[in-house]
Amino acid sequence: MLDLVISASRMVCPATGLDGAGVIGVRDGLIAFVESGDIGGEVPTARETIVVDEGVLLPGMVDLHAHPALSGSKFGIDSDTCLLPRGSTTVLSQGDAGALNMDRYIEETIESARTRVKLAINFCAEGESNPDGRFFSLDEASVDECVAAIERGGSHVWGISLNIALIRGEGVDPLEVMRRGIRAAEESGKPVIFGATKNADVPLSAQLELLRPGDLMTYCFYSGDGAIVEDGRVLDFVWEARERGVLFDVGDGATAFGFDVAEVAVAEGFVPDTISTDYYRHHFVEEPDHDMPHVVSKMIAVGMMADECWPLVTSVPARVLGLGDEIGRLEVGAAADFCVVRAGDVVEEMVDGRGEVRSEIRWRAMDVVKGGGIATISGL
């Protein structure tokens, strides 16, 4: 007896190239079979059945920048109520915990969640526990403490969150913090997800020079001082960083995305490597339905096609996490994580971090399955 059968008029798996009608069977939290083609025939018997006759069945989406945390982070939200029902079955915490509070974070947030949560440990030892900011002194930027915490955290820790915005210590050099963070990443053999200073005091070129192949710059379409676009074109040193293997992630957030920058970049062919939300507590007030399909809709509004976006929220971030064989794919043996997304019927307004508006058809998550279990049905 199968636990779940899903039949869909359209299934899309960028990892395997699957695109069309089909049926998926689930047993013990894993995909037991995938059959593509006409679904008009008899569907195998299972304890539960989902029929998708509208929308697109995708692998569960992978959000590389959000803030799942039940306590200890000023940004923290509950992944099981705020992220999972909106289609993100796997989430990377961008720095919600550091060396001093990582152990509690793992026990309280990661191990108790239905959502698959990984941690990019904050290079600031206090994580995001201080409401006034981070790095009040270089004592919070300890290479040894960070490396020891990574070893202690084991498979729960993906890499290091190295965000050098909001440095509060007088005289603390952002580039020195960054150099130390990179050294911790090198000593621990981990990648970095990097947030730039977002000001003109330290040139973005000097920051990108320090990143290595496989490191990920988030907030890549930030509009303001330190943007990747100047005078209507993507800067040469940004292209050079991409050519040597630096990855670029959206990290939409509240003020970190500008339509003007994204439109120029996409028109030049500089599309992001991954799409993420930076979903955090702020969005409860400003925009409660801020989620992955919403950010995909923004990217469509600036010139991308929906089918270009699906790899960037499934198979590509899964590979970045080192989990490409387990998640982000519709294939036998992979985790039975699915998300059904559907485009709306009318054009809706969407707002960027500067208050600029674009109008586009809005995608939303409908049915969500995590580990073979239904997380929500028919949207929110």
Kindly report, residue by residue over 245-286, the tens digit of the pLDDT: 999 999 998 889 999 999 999 999 999 999 999 999 887 665
pLDDT mean across residues, the chain: 94
Does 179 have pLDDT greater than 90? yes
pLDDT score of 41: 64
Q: What are phi and psi of 181, to 5 degrees?
A: -65, -40
pLDDT score of 287: 57
Closest CA to 165 of 128, 129, 139: 128
CA distances from 121 to 114, 151, 156, 161, 162 (A): 20, 11, 10, 5, 8
Q: 168 versus 299: which is more confidently predicted?
A: 299
262 and 336 inside one domain: no
Domains contained in the chain, number? 2
User: Is residue 325 one of the residues assigned to a domain?
Assistant: no
Does 83 have pLDDT greater than 70? yes
Closest CA to 159 of 118, 196, 108, 103: 118
Q: Which pTM value belongs to this model?
A: 0.96
280 and 336 inside one domain: no
314 and 367 inside one domain: no
How does pLDDT run across 99-122, given as a tens digit for each residue? Answer: 999 999 999 999 999 999 999 999
**Residue 295 pLDDT class (50, 70, 90 cuts):** very high
Does 5 have pLDDT greater than 50? yes
User: Is residue 339 one of the residues assigned to a domain?
Assistant: yes
66 and 54 inside one domain: no
**Residue 240 pLDDT class (50, 70, 90 cuts):** very high
Residues 233, 238, 240, 246: is their CA dihedral positive or negative?
negative
User: Is residue 352 one of the residues assigned to a domain?
Assistant: no
CA 41 to mean position of chain CA atoms: 37
User: Is residue 327 one of the residues assigned to a domain?
Assistant: no
User: Is residue 355 one of the residues assigned to a domain?
Assistant: no
Q: What is the mean pLDDT of the segment spanning 8-27?
A: 97
165 and 222 inside one domain: yes
User: Is residue 252 one of the residues assigned to a domain?
Assistant: yes
CATH of the domain at 12: 2.30.40.10
Nearest-angstrom CA–CA distance, 380 and 372 = 19
User: Is residue 354 one of the residues assigned to a domain?
Assistant: no
65 and 186 inside one domain: yes
pLDDT score of 379: 46
Does 377 have pLDDT greater than 90? no
54 and 96 inside one domain: no
pLDDT score of 58: 98
Q: What are phi and psi of 365, to 5 degrees?
A: -75, 140
311 and 197 inside one domain: yes
Domain of residue 254 covers 61-320
pLDDT score of 38: 74
191 and 339 inside one domain: no
38 and 174 inside one domain: no
238 and 313 inside one domain: yes
CATH of the domain at 115: 3.20.20.140
Nearest-angstrom CA–CA distance, 85 and 98 = 27
Q: 168 versus 257: which is more confidently predicted?
A: 257
User: Is residue 214 one of the residues assigned to a domain?
Assistant: yes
41 and 74 inside one domain: no
